[in-house]
């Protein structure tokens, strides 16, 4: 692994790169990016959230990225429409993807009938089985296992100890983080009371991961019973996420850490599932829907809706009910007292 030493760049170059306006010296030389608190005097940082006002005031950064409205004091500024996005792009300039020597490492196990592009790197301790293929510039770290007839596209990174089981398809520019498992058997059994036993339902399908997807460390995406489990283009999946057989996730979705999605459920494009959300099987999370952390989704969620809770309900209703929940025992006391008062009134009125 070798990252080319990042060149120093002028503020004006960075402005051109992200379509921003320079306030201050355009010839200012920038050597890198960093957080407001960590930045040194030749680095650029970003300011997009008033919560970080004091860090902004104390920063040693040479310049900051900010939007048109932000007061950044006397320091050099690169004005952009979306500071966070501009920061991501500039950071990528200074932190390019490392490059890896192509070819097969000494102890790599590549089947004679596998197809590994000459510009791909299969490191020592990685395995590529019969009929599997690896595209140009893709990198398989030690301990990666690529099963029979599995396919990995161009420019992918498969970090150490990733497993991609037989027949699964991985698109281009996909990142599979260490220890994730693509294409383990779906969890399907039929109970046979005559034995008794849970009889395994063969899981004969595959997983298909489209381009530009990222899958977090130790996340698991199970192969379909038949057909495909699909992760759509540009979707990002965090660590320790469980995706069951035959799930279809649309494009550009965000699945945060420890989310679990049960079998045959669909997640629409652009949907965001916060940490530890669980979703039952055979439902649909709508496009652009938002599901709050730890929610338990037991029914389909309409496009664009925001739900939270267990079971998940409209987010605003949940918020109100959650506030009320804290006062539940007082509520019961109040009700009891009110009963007594009504009873007293009733007695009086009987007379």
Q: Which 29-58 positions form the footprint of a copy of itself (CB under 8 A)?
A: 33-35, 37-38, 51
Q: In 3D, which of 306, 258, 242, 316 has the Cα closest to residue 297?
A: 306
Cβ closest to a copy of itself, residue 21 vs residue 321: 321
Could you say which of 177, 208, 284, 290 contacts a copy of itself (CB under 8 A)?
Answer: 177
- Give one word for 266, left, alpha or beta, with left for phi > 0 and alpha for psi -120 to 50: beta
Number of Cβ within a 10 Å radius of residue 153: 21
Q: How far apart are CA 127 and CA 150, in angstroms?
A: 12
Is 60 a binding residue for a copy of itself by CB under 8 A? The answer is: no
Instruction: Determine, following the binding rule CB under 8 A, whether residue 6 of this chain makes contact with a copy of itself.
Output: no
Q: Is 201 exposed, middle or buried (0-12, 13-18, 19+ CB in 10 A)?
A: middle
**Minimum distance between the CB of residue 186 and a copy of itself, rounded to whole angstroms?**
9
**Is position 283 an interface residue for a copy of itself (rule: CB under 8 A)?**
no
* 107 near a copy of itself, judged by CB under 8 A: yes
4: contact with a copy of itself by CB under 8 A: no
Q: Are 238 and 177 in contact (CB under 8 A)?
A: no
Distance CA 148, CA 73 (A): 59
Of the residues 245, 282, 315, 327, only one is catalytic, namely 245
Taking CB under 8 A as the rule, does residue 102 contact a copy of itself?
no
User: Is the CB of residue 210 less than 8 Å from the CB of residue 251?
Assistant: yes
Q: Which of 60, 89, 115, 315 binds a copy of itself (CB under 8 A)?
A: 89
Sign of CA dihedral 148, 150, 151, 157: negative
| Binder of a copy of itself out of 82, 102, 300, 306 (CB under 8 A) | 82
**Please, what is the minimum distance in Å from the beta carbon of residue 312 to a copy of itself?**
10
Q: Is 346 in the site for a copy of itself (CB under 8 A)?
A: yes
Selected binder of a copy of itself within 294, 300, 305, 306 (CB under 8 A): 294
- Binding of residue 7 to a copy of itself (CB under 8 A): no
Q: Which of 139, 150, 158, 181 binds a copy of itself (CB under 8 A)?
A: 181
- Chain positions 205 to 234 lying near a copy of itself, rule: CB under 8 A, are 212, 214, 216-218, 220, 222, 225-227, 234
Smallest distance from a copy of itself to CB 154, Å: 17
331 belongs to the binding site for a copy of itself (CB under 8 A): yes
* 245 is known as an active-site residue: yes
The least CB distance from residue 230 to a copy of itself, in Å, is: 13
Spatial contact of 11 and 76, defined as CB atoms under 8 Å apart:
yes
CA angle 162, 166, 167 (to 5 degrees): 115
Distances (CA, A) of 259 to 219, 293, 299, 309, 349: 9, 9, 16, 14, 59
Catalytic positions: 245
């Amino acid at each position: 692994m070798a990252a080319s030493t990042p060149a120093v760049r002028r503020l004006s170059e960075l402005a051109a790169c992200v379509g921003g306006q320079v306030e201050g010296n355009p010839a200012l030389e920038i050597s890198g990016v960093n957080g407001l608190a960590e930045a040194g005097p030749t680095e650029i940082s970003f300011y997009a959230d008033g919560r970080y006002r004091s860090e902004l005031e104390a920063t040693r950064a040479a310049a900051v990225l900010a939007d048109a409205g932000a007061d950044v004091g006397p320091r050099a500024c690169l004005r952009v429409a979306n500071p966070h996005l501009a920061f991501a792009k500039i950071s990528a300039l200074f932190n390019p993807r490392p490059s890896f020597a192509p070819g097969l490492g000494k102890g790599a196990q590549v089947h004679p009938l596998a197809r590994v592009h000459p510009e791909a790197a299969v490191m020592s301790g990685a395995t590529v089985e019969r009929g599997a293929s690896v595209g140009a510039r893709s990198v398989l770290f030690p301990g990666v296992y690529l099963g029979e007839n599995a396919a990995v596209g161009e420019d992918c990174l498969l970090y150490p100890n990733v497993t991609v089981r037989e027949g699964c398809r991985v698109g281009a520019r996909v990142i599979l983080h260490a220890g994730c498992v693509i294409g383990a058997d779906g969890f399907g059994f039929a109970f046979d009371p005559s034995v008794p036993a849970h009889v395994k339902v063969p899981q004969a399908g595959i997983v298909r991961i489209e381009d530009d997807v990222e899958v977090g460390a130790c996340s698991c995406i199970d192969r379909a019973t038949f057909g495909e489990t699909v992760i759509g283009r540009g979707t990002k999946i965090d660590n320790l996420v469980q995706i069951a057989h035959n799930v279809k996730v649309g494009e550009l979705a965000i699945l945060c850490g420890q989310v679990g999605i049960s079998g045959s459920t669909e997640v629409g494009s652009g949907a965001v599932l916060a940490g530890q959300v669980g979703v039952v099987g055979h439902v649909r999370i709508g496009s652009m829907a938002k599901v709050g952390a730890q929610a338990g989704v037991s029914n389909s969620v309409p496009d664009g809706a925001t739900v939270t809770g267990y079971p998940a309900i409209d987010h605003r209703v949940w918020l109100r009910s959650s506030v009320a929940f804290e006062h539940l025992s007082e509520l019961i006391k109040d009700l009891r007292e009110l009963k007594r008062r009504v009873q007293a009134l009733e007695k009086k009125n009987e007379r």
